[in-house]
Amino acid sequence: MCDEQHQKQEAPPKKKDLWDIMQALGPALIAATVAIMGSIYSYQQAQMTKASEMREVYTKIMTERESSDNNIRASMFQMLFNAMFDKDIDSADTPDSISLIKKRVMFLDVLSRNFDTVDIKPLFEDLDGELTKKIYNDKSYSDGAQKDYFAMRSELRRIGRNLSVKQLNALASLPGTVVKSIVLLEDKNKNLMVMQDESSANSSGDTIPVEIKAQGLDDGKVEIALEYQKTKVSDKGFKAPSFIITFYDMPYIDNSVIDKDMRVGVVLTKYATTKDLDLFRDRIDKRLINDYEDLKSGGITKYAELRLIRFPAKYTGHRDRPYLQEILQDLITEEKTKKKG
């Protein structure tokens, strides 16, 4: 009996299994897990709060910046217009004064650089017309004055062309956009020729289903008709609408919706009259002299380059306002598409 008790007393203790260990550590593990999850949650909440505060600060800064910028631009716009139309801008200047015209060209340059979404085409075309009359009026002005007027008109047209090409390039980045080149020529017999880049297409293979018909070239003005091929086929009596294009047509503003899914705009990028080679050779950009001479030797009297751009009709220009009916129809179509999906 004593031996049995002695053996029981000296028996090794039973080892604890994993479950026993988990039971022993359970409360501690749960407490640690809760603490860790609480810390993670608190950190995430703090990050979300911080991100929200950053967005609010950024939005406030951008709003104040936009408001300040708009105020400055509005003041600048008013100042420039007052300066352009103030009769007392310089009492020593006459309407034909070269210095006054230079100021007007400068004002238009500043306007075009800062207000490219404002339609200032009439101001450009009015001054261009005045200069054209002075350039070719042999009786009223000396050769030196006419050359100065020619140089200022060239500068004015450069300003207009730069702005229109800038807008054209911006629109060309839109998906589904296609740009096409057109060259117009007039020979000594007043015959008009049109050369169009028929191979132009975007990466999706889209082309421009519009044909340009030349109707006249005169002093930086190009009269054309835009013939939409789809309408021509469906309507045998269709007459293509005519437009007069100058260096001051801006595709942001001067564009037309010709179908539900497309707009088109036309930009004048180059215009040359070979008679200017004889009259103003020393005022023509030297890089263009050879081009003028090539045209003249080929019997060409007038030359123009156009860019025709097609871009999505859903693009809403700065002067456009979407019709409520179109908005509702788009919403209905989108809802039907979601239900089918």
Q: Say how far apart CA 237 and CA 252 lie, in whole Å.
A: 31
The tens digit of pLDDT for each residue in 2-55 reads 555 555 555 555 555 556 655 665 666 677 776 777 778 777 777 778 777 777
In a domain? residue 233:
yes
In a domain? residue 135:
yes
The residue among 280, 59, 310 whose CA lies nearest residue 182 is 310
The tens digit of pLDDT for each residue in 71-111 reads 666 666 676 666 666 644 444 445 557 888 888 888 888 88
pLDDT value at residue 132: 92
pLDDT value at residue 168: 93
- Mean of all residue pLDDT scores within the chain: 78
Classify burial at 317, counting beta carbons within 10 Å of its beta carbon; exposed 0-12, middle 13-18, buried 19 or more: middle
Q: Specify which of 22-36, 113-127, 158-172, 321-335 reaches the highest per-range mean pLDDT.
A: 158-172
pLDDT value at residue 150: 92
In a domain? residue 5:
no
In a domain? residue 215:
yes
With 0.85 as the threshold, say if the pTM is over it. Answer: no
In a domain? residue 15:
no
Domain that holds residue 158: 90-311
In a domain? residue 205:
yes
In a domain? residue 185:
yes
In a domain? residue 299:
yes
Number of domains in the chain: 1
pLDDT level of residue 125 (50, 70, 90 thresholds) = very high
Token digits of residue 17: 């299994």
